Each structure stands twice: as C-alpha cells, then as structure tokens.
Amino acid sequence: MMFTTNPGPSLELTEEHMMLRDAVREFAQREIAPVAAEFDESGEFPVENVRKMGEMGLMGIEIPEEYGGAGMDTIAYVLAVIEIAKADAAHSTIVSVNNSLVNYGLLKFGTEAQKQEFLVPLASGEKVGAYSLTEPMSGSDAATMRSRAVLNEAGTHYIINGRKSWVTSGPVADTVLLFTMTAPEKGHRGITAFIIDADRPGFIRGKKEPKLGIRASATSELVFEDYACPVENVLGQPGEGFKIAMTLLDAGRIGIASQAVGIAEAAYQASLAYARQREAFGRPIGGFQMIQQKLADMKTRLEASRLLTLNAALAKMRYLNGGPRYTTEASMAKLFASETAMFITHQAVQIHGGMGYSKEMPVERYFRDAKITEIYEGTSEIQRVVIARNELGLR
C-alpha cells in the first residue's frame, strides 16, 4: 500500500516564519517586556508600542501588502501573537483584535471602497480597530441584543441607538465593526454589521472597565445616540451580521489561543528558571519530585496547546484556499489553550510560593492575564457547545 503526502500548508516552520518569530521575540523582549508591569499598574494604553508594532507590520500580518499589511499567513500571525503575549498579554490583545476581528472582517466582507478607506490605515497601524458585539444584557446570546439601527426615510443612512459593552480598544479605536439589530423580529437573522467611523457625531465612549488583567488593553462601553451611519458603510448585506460575526470569531479564537500559549509559555519558563535557582532543604527545588511533576504537566499541556493552535491556523489557511470551515479546530485550540494558560499560571504561582503572590515577580500578572482567555471571544462553556454541536451535526 502506498501513502501519498497531502499537499498544502504544513506545521513545519519555514525560514521566513522563523525569521519573523525571532524578530518579534527580540522586539517584544526589548520594547514590551521591560514596561509591561508599568502599563499593567497604570492601565494606560501603550500608544508608542502600538505605533512601533504597526511599523513592523504586526497590526496587519495577514493582510495583503496592497492594503497596507505584511502579506503573511496565519502561521506567521500565531507565532507573532505568541511572542508578544510572552512579553505582555495586553499588547497581544490589541494585535489580535486588530488583525483577526477587524482587518480580517474588512478583507473578507468589505467592498473595494471600504478596504481602501478603512482597511489600509488599520493594517498599516496608522489607526486602531475594535469589534463590538456584546451588550450589557447580551453576551453569548447575541440574538437578544437591544441596540437598533433604523434606515432613514431617504434611504441614505441608518440611525443607530444603543449601548455596547466590553469593547476591546473601545477608548482609543478609530474604526469599529458594530453588530446591531436592523430587523429584531428575525432574531439573529436580523443583525447587520456596520463600519463605524468614531469621528462622526453620536459616537460616545462610555466608562472604561477596571479589569483584573490585560489592563493596558483599553476596554470600555460604547454608546450610540442617533449615530448616522451611511448605507455605504454596511459590511456585507443587511441581515448578514450574525454570520459575519461568527466567521470572524473563528479567526479571533485562533488569536486568543495564541495569546494563551504565549502567557503559558512565559509562566512555564519563569517556573523552570525558579526551580533551578531556588533552594530548599539544601538543594534546588527542581530536585523534588513534586515540582518535577508540576513542570512535566505544564510542559506537556503547553506543547499540546501550541500544536492545537498551529493546527487551527492550518485549517484557516485551507479555508482561505477553498477548504471547509475551521470552527471546530479554532474552538478546540481556544478551549484547550485558555484552560492550559490558567492551569500553568496557577502552578507557576504555586511553584514560586510567596514570591508568586508578589508583584515583584511577573507570575502574578500572568495569572491575572490568563483568566480572560477562558472568557472573551466565547467562554470555555460556549466552546464546548460549539465543538459538540459540530461533532453531532447539529445546527
């Protein structure tokens, strides 16, 4: 029996992938890691570092060069987000949202005019984007959203009113992909996607959220009061908003899985170094079997998470070349990597003992940052529902 190789994307990194990974690692450790604790403490948005990431092409990694991006693939995106997250998870959140939720949405569903007006400045890092689906009374159940967009009599603008919550980059975003009801009687089929220019009247940035972790990634409410959105700024077709939102979340979950891998790797490496250096009862604590067991479990789950995330990236690349949807692969990567990040950061605090509870060491920040990966872009509970329903063939 002869086995043939299935042509297509491979998990083996190319020379270009490794060069990118090393360049982002060097940048992140030089520019981001030294100031991560300071930004975490202040909650200030890292404007200068975001500008630098834009100059490196990291704000539009998968976007073709003709639209201001770096023209690389999903594997490159995963590697970059991991390296940034190892230095600071908040910076990686900004990169992930801009790339996978906003840029990808404009590239896949936008008109040529929309790409030129909105995608080019976002992918080049000149502007920052945000994705707005969640509302105070609708999180995982998007069909219950209360915000409304009503077409005016002239048919030229949608008048939008409502309140959105937990919008990553909301306090600083120049462009927002907004999902709101245009036909409430149709449930989720009545949701439409809009490209929101933050400079127009009626766009109000609400209260900034005082968060447990990823504190330098600005998060806020957004309020719309008779905001007039030109019909030219509808993304896709009216009523396609839910489909667009779910398509983008598939991509976004790969970003969050990558972030979780980065956080977990930073916590694991810190624990490994501490186990070699810290002594108890006359020898390094790494010589004790209990610590070795923790490190073995941490390393195994870390590498499994990395492979699941790269596998999801390959599935997305096949999808972009005409293959099937990669919802299950993205959900599995996000679920496992996020829960691994929580497991590893918890063990990291335990290995460090009292020092793990102190802000003098970064592991307490890793622990706080890891938690959100189990919540945003679909909770772990939602990921399990998605995976199971897809496996059962349910809709």
9 is a domain residue: no
Is residue 257 domain-shared with residue 328, that is, in the same domain?
yes
With bands split at pLDDT 50, 70 and 90, how would you rate the model's confidence at 9? Answer: low
pLDDT in tens, 207-225: 999 999 999 999 999 999 9
190 is a domain residue: yes
Element (H, E) at 277: helix 241-277
Position 69, amino acid: G
Which one of 128, 162, 191 terminates a domain? Answer: 128
Tell me the CATH number at 50. Answer: 1.10.540.10
Contact between 71 and 222 under an 8 Å Cβ cutoff? The reply is no
Structural domain range at position 59: 15-128
* Helix axes 89-96 and 74-87, enclosed angle (nearest 10): 150
Q: How far apart, in whole angstroms, are the C-alpha atoms of residue 286 and residue 384?
A: 35
Is residue 307 domain-shared with residue 341, that is, in the same domain?
yes
Which one of 239, 260, 276 terminates a domain? Answer: 239
362 is a domain residue: yes
The answer to whether residue 69 scores a pLDDT higher than 80 is yes
Is residue 118 domain-shared with residue 170, that is, in the same domain?
no
* Helix axes 327-352 and 363-371, enclosed angle (nearest 10): 150
Mean pLDDT confidence for 120-142: 92
Contact between 345 and 366 under an 8 Å Cβ cutoff? The reply is yes
Q: Which residues are within 8 A (CB) of 393 and not within 5 positions of it... i.e. 6 or more apart?
A: none
Calculate the alpha carbon distances from 222 to 54, 168, 245 in Å. 25, 10, 18
pLDDT in tens, 333-350: 999 999 999 999 999 999
Q: How far apart, in whole angstroms, are the C-alpha atoms of residue 215 and residue 218?
A: 7
The answer to whether residue 5 scores a pLDDT higher than 60 is no
- DSSP-derived secondary structure for 47-109: HHHHHHHHHTTTTSTTS-GGGTS----HHHHHHHHHHHHHH-HHHHHHHHIIIIIIIHHHHHH
| Catalytic site residue from 44, 360, 377, 391 | 377
Is residue 247 domain-shared with residue 355, that is, in the same domain?
yes
375 is a domain residue: yes
Mean pLDDT confidence for 141-156: 92
**Catalytic residue list contains 377:** yes
Which one of 128, 143, 174 terminates a domain? Answer: 128
With bands split at pLDDT 50, 70 and 90, how would you rate the model's confidence at 259? Answer: very high
> 352 phi and psi, to 5 degrees?
-80, -10
Is residue 84 domain-shared with residue 41, that is, in the same domain?
yes
- Number of structural domains (the chain) is 3
Tell me the CATH number at 221. Answer: 2.40.110.10
* Per-residue tokens: 251: 């991509």
Q: pTM for this one?
A: 0.95
